[in-house]
Structure 1
Amino acid sequence: MQTKLRSRTITKPRSHHGKPAQSLVARRLPAKRPPTHPGEMLLEEFLKPLGISQSAFAVRLGISFPRLNEIIRGKRRVTPDTALRLAHVLGMSADFWLGLQQDWDLWHALRSKQAAAIARLEPLRHVS
């Protein structure tokens, strides 16, 4: 089932019973594959084309090489601090990096062991 929300089409997730569930995510996420991790985006769309090494870029960002390398390998999250650093150095929005991280996190959370338990939670009803 699709819904229009501020000119964005979203697909409503289905509950574990196969019935349409209330949409928990207003962002468009890929259905069959995980979204691009921000570290992969950083490596493939920025570092490689710019010809800059991870070590040199870590120095530019003012972070350690292991921290940057873990982000690139998808082993570490992009935090607001890191997003601000990336935005400043690359001349773009911190929201871009946080959005990529949020998409990654939500996609995995929707498929986690806890997702079934979350789907069974009772929605709060308006009390008059």
Structure 2
Amino acid sequence: MLLRDRILPALNLTVSQAAQDLATTRQNLHRILAGRSAITPEMSLRLERFCGIPAAFWLERQQEYDLSRAQHALSGSPAVKCQHLLPDAVLIQLGASHER
């Protein structure tokens, strides 16, 4: 994990020191580092103040991690084709896209 493998070593901080600076418990930080707890919006703001990396970055990484885990969990399920394709004009209005 980025925080465990790159950030804390680069700052030369222990988990206990980082937890104190983040105003959280060492146990909570350990759960985050182990992938057992999510980085919440509140924690992302704490991380931004902690090391200067924007809160949105942390939330995007969390979302990517969550999506990857969900895809892995559903990998054994039969593939489902999209049942209702939206018109391109609606997708543009939404700022979304899908592969056709």
> TM-score, structure 1 length as denominator?
0.59
In the alignment, does 2:93 pair up with 1:93? Answer: no
Q: Which has the higher contact order (CA 8 A, sep 6+)?
A: 1
TM-aligned CA deviation for residue 56 of structure 1: 0.8
Aligned to 1:74: 35
Deviates more, 1:99-108 or 1:116-125: 116-125
Root-mean-square deviation over aligned CA pairs: 2.2
- Matched to 1:99, the amino acid is E
Q: In 2, are the aligned partners of 1:109 and 1:115 still within 8 Å (CA)?
A: no
Q: State how far apart, in whole Å, the 1-side matches of 2:32 and 2:62 are.
A: 10
Per-residue CA distance 1:24-62 (angstroms, 9 max, x = gap): xxxxxxxxxxxxxxxx10011111121111011101001
Percent identical among aligned pairs is 29
DSSP-derived class of the 1:77 partner = coil
Specify which structure has the higher proportion of helix.
2
Moved over 4 A (4+): none
TM-aligned CA deviation for residue 123 of structure 1: 2.2
Per-residue CA distance 1:59-86 (angstroms, 9 max, x = gap): 1001111110011111111111111100
Specify which structure has the higher proportion of strand.
1
Q: In 2, are the aligned partners of 1:55 and 1:65 still within 8 Å (CA)?
A: yes
Residue of 67, 73, 77 corresponding to 1:112: 73
DSSP-derived class of the 1:110 partner = helix
Q: How many residues align?
A: 87
Q: State how far apart, in whole Å, the 2-side matches of 1:76 and 1:125 are.
A: 35
Question: Structure 2 unaligned runs (5+)?
Answer: 88-100
Q: State how far apart, in whole Å, the 2-side matches of 1:122 and 1:114 are.
A: 19
> TM-score, structure 2 length as denominator?
0.74
Aligned to 1:11: none
